[in-house]
């Protein structure tokens, strides 16, 4: 459709169809977070002293402990510091180790796919506005 939604139209849709808008929003978040996770975990790993990529290891605790959480139309993806204490040091680096920011890599490289899902969300919301 590629139609633009005004803030007033969005507010109207939310007030008239709150359950539907929440459902569409959660579907968008699930799809978007799956794109980030796909890029972060399934892409080629970060090369030590080399170029960037996905998660810095092919196997192990850091790769297995990623989480996705959706609540109240807020989506989160990452690694819990309580699950993997060293994740922040790997991502941000230390004075002895170069940073390997795989979450930032995922954000940048999944952006175009997430924008497509966002377009689908807006198209679906337009259907509610048009009724």
Nearest-angstrom CA–CA distance, 57 and 61:
9
pLDDT tens digits, residue range 28-77?
A: 999 999 998 888 887 767 665 566 677 776 667 888 888 889 988 899 98
Residue 59 inside a domain? The answer is: yes
Nearest-angstrom CA–CA distance, 4 and 126:
9
pLDDT tens digits, residue range 64-110?
A: 888 889 988 899 988 888 888 988 888 888 998 888 888 888 888 89
Domain that holds residue 54: 7-130
Residue 80 inside a domain? The answer is: yes
Distances in Å between the Cα of 37 and the Cα atoms of 1, 10, 92, 94 are 28, 29, 19, 24
Residue 1 inside a domain? The answer is: no
Number of domains in the chain: 1
Residue 2 inside a domain? The answer is: no
Residue 31 inside a domain? The answer is: yes
Q: What's the whole-model pTM score?
A: 0.76
Residue 73 inside a domain? The answer is: yes
Q: Which two tokens stand for residue 86?
A: 């060293």
DSSP conformation class of 61: H
Closest CA to 79 of 64, 99, 101, 97: 64
Nearest-angstrom CA–CA distance, 72 and 78:
18
Residue 75 inside a domain? The answer is: yes
Residue 87 inside a domain? The answer is: yes
């Amino acid at each position: 459709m590629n139609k633009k939604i005004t803030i007033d139209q969005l507010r109207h849709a939310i007030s008239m169809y709150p359950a539907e808008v929440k459902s569409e929003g959660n579907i968008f978040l699930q799809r978007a977070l799956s794109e980030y996770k796909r890029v972060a975990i399934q892409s080629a790993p970060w090369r030590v002293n080399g170029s960037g990529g996905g998660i810095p290891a092919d196997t192990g605790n850091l790769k297995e402990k990623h989480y996705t959480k959706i609540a109240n139309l807020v989506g989160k993806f990452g690694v819990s510091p309580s699950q993997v204490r060293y994740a922040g040091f790997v991502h941000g680096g230390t004075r002895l180790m170069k940073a390997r920011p795989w979450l930032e890599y995922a954000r940048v490289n999944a952006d175009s796919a997430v924008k497509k899902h966002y377009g689908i969300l807006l198209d679906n919301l337009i259907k509610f506005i048009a009724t």
